[in-house]
Amino acid sequence: MGEDRSLGKTIIAKGYEPDNFTCWAVLNDENATRLELQEPGIVYEILEGREGDRCYGIVQKTVRLSERSPISEQLSMETAREPITTSAMMLSVFRESGITAPVGRHPIRLADDHGIKLAYNIEDSGIPVGVYTLLSGIPPQTCVVNLPVDYVLGPEAAHMNTGGQTGYAKTAWNLLCCRAILSDKELSRDICVIAFNVKADDLLWVDEKNTELEEEDLKLYELMTIKPEPFGDVKIFAPELPTKDGEPKPNSLRFDAIPFSWKWNDIKDQLHFAISPEDWNDKLEALLVDLCSIEEVQSFDDAISELDWMIKNAKGSWVTSRTYATHHVTTALKAKRILDGIRKRFKGLIEGKSAPLPVEELLVGGRFSVIDVQRLSPPAQRLVFSKVHADTIRRLEEGTAEVKKIVYMIDELNKFAPKVAKPPISGIRYIIDEIAARGRSIGAILFGIEQYPSQISDETTGNVSTLVLCRMKPTELDAHLYRGISKEVKQMIQRLPKGYAVVIHDRFTSPILVRFPRPPCAQKRPVEYEILSHIASKITKESASEIIKKFRRVLKEKPYEELRQVLSEYVNQGILPEKLVQDYLERRKRYEEA
């Protein structure tokens, strides 16, 4: 790669039309077998020699032909004669001047970074997310791929979606993107990220250093001019863990998450989202809406007593509420059963000792907040999402939020916006569709992540301006959603290693293959997690944060031998269990050796 001399030439193809923006090219004989020079995505400069203009072509596909089939070759009497084989590349053509004249016969050579940017329409500034690459390796031209700010964060568009097989760095890509956005002083002033940790724990360590960064990752960060450091301003919230007594704790793997809990009045407008689809019907929703409108009903207790009162005074099969609305008695009985169930199953998330989730703490410029709902059931997750969305979007709309834009990062978007959904899930899907379609006008931005974008609501995927595809299976790529993607790019997507993604963007002229670094923050729990968690369980909440901070520093900074002595002293004094310390020291040693 990096050859300056001509590698081949454009040809006048049969079927040539003056208004098409593609042309064909062939490589010189000595390069004809170099497959890496024919890979889709390579950019050639077409040396037309037009004054004040430069012309580039992106390889879309390569066609190969041989005059003999393998069977004829086998049967051939003339085995000594080499079969005539040839290949030609189809290039989509872009000129610096913007003119779209047909291409004649000209030499071609590999484009420089300026040419690559021009051909793909990559701007010099924006949100850096990786470097332009090829599957055969990173080319010598370094070309950082920047996403246009106005298409990621509005006002032009505000929806990025990432799809791909499990374990192919979808969450990692989104963390990197958020880091790139929040690293920009100007952008971060008015933007906050609210991420929902729906499964596993990979969003819970965003304030921890990624200890798995390799030399290549660091080089990529340098090119992207982003510091490979974890998020600075992080808040982690989790619903309260239901306990009989004692201090309220978060229902989260992060022992230091801030617990929250809601009362009837906080969530009565979102309660219907927590009903399971099997129980849901219009009549039930109407009764709940009626119940919520009764001023005297101020708690779950009140709501249940109100239903009891209505049922007791039923006339035949009908009950009448204080608002004079009538409902069927079976609906009232069902509502009572459901409210009772929600109250028991959601204990902690509702009617706990903690304060409600402080919305204003989410809406701080430059902050990355994680709401950990991993341990909650899907109906409870829906309740949390709809409540956080309602509170935050209201402030954006009213102009009372301290930020101008909110990025909602939703992993496992299929749980919230599936293509096929019954109520109340369809209600949540409607919220997501609204953000995807109209969020840009008020500053609500959606970063959706899922394995199968084809299973997401059409309204949501139809409004994607940045579609990021990590490795995918052919069965997924067969879906209608991908009909605009060429066979060649689909084949490439099926072979992508971790850390590679194809980015399809409204402003890019073709899909771009991007190599991106591991995220700057950890996606796994740190080695010292168990030991810190044990200490946190032994101390009171008031002193916890200071002690944990100090202890964390000791664990991170002390050399191994010294640390071993300090920890054995703790074991001798009965502060830490021996097994816990041994496990930690072993892991730490392995980590240091690695």
Ligand X SMILES: Nc1ncnc2c1ncn2[C@@H]1O[C@H](COP(=O)(O)OP(=O)(O)OP(=O)(O)O)[C@@H](O)[C@H]1O
Site residues, ligand X (CB under 6 A): 164, 166-172, 202, 212, 451, 470, 498-499, 516-518, 523
Site for Mg ion in 562-591 (CB under 5 A): none
Q: Considering the complex, what minimum distance in angstroms separates the CB of residue 458 from Mg ion?
A: 23
Q: Among 59, 224, 38, which Cα is nearest to 131's?
A: 224
Q: Which is nearer to ligand X, 300 or 516 (CB)?
A: 516
Q: Which is nearer to ligand X, 429 or 518 (CB)?
A: 518
Q: Considering the complex, what minimum distance in angstroms separates the CB of residue 118 from ligand X?
A: 27
Q: Which of Mg ion, ligand X, none sits in contact with 414, Cβ below 5 to 8 A by type?
A: none
Q: Considering the complex, what minimum distance in angstroms separates the CB of residue 179 from ligand X?
A: 12
Q: Which of Mg ion, ligand X, none sits in contact with 516, Cβ below 5 to 8 A by type?
A: ligand X
Q: Which is nearer to Mg ion, 205 or 346 (CB)?
A: 205
End-to-end CA distance of the chain: 34
Cα–Cα distance for residue pair 380/347, rounded to 1 Å: 10
How many residues bind to Mg ion according to rule CB under 5 A?
1
* Peptide bond preceding 148 in cis form (omega within 30 of 0): no
Cα–Cα distance for residue pair 71/107, rounded to 1 Å: 36
Q: Which of Mg ion, ligand X, none sits in contact with 169, Cβ below 5 to 8 A by type?
A: ligand X
Residue of closest CB approach to Mg ion = 171
Tokens read off for 546: 């200071």
Rule CB under 5 A: say whether 461 interacts with Mg ion: no
Site for Mg ion in 152-181 (CB under 5 A): 171
Q: Which is nearer to ligand X, 239 or 520 (CB)?
A: 520
Q: Which of Mg ion, ligand X, none sits in contact with 372, Cβ below 5 to 8 A by type?
A: none
Question: Residue 175 contacts by C-beta under 8 Å, 6 or more apart in sequence?
Answer: 203, 206, 519, 520, 521, 523
Residues 364, 192 contacting (CB under 8 angstroms): yes
- Using DSSP's 3-state secondary structure scheme, residue 12 falls into coil
Residue of closest CB approach to ligand X = 499
Q: Considering the complex, what minimum distance in angstroms separates the CB of residue 164 from ligand X?
A: 6
Q: Considering the complex, what minimum distance in angstroms separates the CB of residue 392 from ligand X?
A: 24
Q: Which of Mg ion, ligand X, none sits in contact with 334, Cβ below 5 to 8 A by type?
A: none
Cα–Cα distance for residue pair 146/125, rounded to 1 Å: 6
Residues 425, 418 contacting (CB under 8 angstroms): yes
Q: Which of Mg ion, ligand X, none sits in contact with 154, Cβ below 5 to 8 A by type?
A: none
Q: Which of ligand X, Mg ion, none sits in contact with 167, Cβ below 5 to 8 A by type?
A: ligand X
Q: Considering the complex, what minimum distance in angstroms separates the CB of residue 162 from Mg ion?
A: 9
- Classify residue 264 as exposed, middle or buried by CB count within 10 Å of its CB (0-12, 13-18, 19+): buried
Q: Which is nearer to ligand X, 218 or 575 (CB)?
A: 218
Q: Considering the complex, what minimum distance in angstroms separates the CB of residue 238 from ligand X?
A: 19
Residues 460, 448 contacting (CB under 8 angstroms): yes
Cα–Cα distance for residue pair 482/444, rounded to 1 Å: 26
Q: Which is nearer to Mg ion, 172 or 319 (CB)?
A: 172
Q: Which of ligand X, Mg ion, none sits in contact with 177, Cβ below 5 to 8 A by type?
A: none
Q: Which is nearer to Mg ion, 171 or 457 (CB)?
A: 171
Q: Which is nearer to Mg ion, 171 or 392 (CB)?
A: 171
* Residue that is written with structure tokens 């020079």 in the block: 37
Tokens read off for 394: 């209201």
- Classify residue 190 as exposed, middle or buried by CB count within 10 Å of its CB (0-12, 13-18, 19+): middle
Q: Which is nearer to Mg ion, 350 or 467 (CB)?
A: 467
Q: Which is nearer to ligand X, 10 or 454 (CB)?
A: 454
Cα–Cα distance for residue pair 370/350, rounded to 1 Å: 19
Q: Considering the complex, what minimum distance in angstroms separates the CB of residue 451 from Mg ion?
A: 9
Q: Which is nearer to ligand X, 261 or 374 (CB)?
A: 374
Cα–Cα distance for residue pair 135/494, rounded to 1 Å: 11
DSSP character string of 454-522? GGB-HHHHHT-SEEEE-S--HHHHTSGGGTTS-HHHHHHHHTPPTTEEEEEETTSSS-EEEE-PPPSB-
Q: Considering the complex, what minimum distance in angstroms separates the CB of residue 138 from ligand X?
A: 13
Q: Considering the complex, what minimum distance in angstroms separates the CB of residue 445 from ligand X?
A: 19
**Furthest-apart CA atoms within the chain: distance in Å:** 101
Q: What is the CA radius of gyration of the chain?
A: 30
Q: Which of Mg ion, ligand X, none sits in contact with 164, Cβ below 5 to 8 A by type?
A: ligand X
Single-letter amino acid, residue 250: P
Q: Considering the complex, what minimum distance in angstroms separates the CB of residue 216 from Mg ion?
A: 21
* Residue that is written with structure tokens 């010189």 in the block: 28
Residues near Mg ion (CB under 5 A) are 171
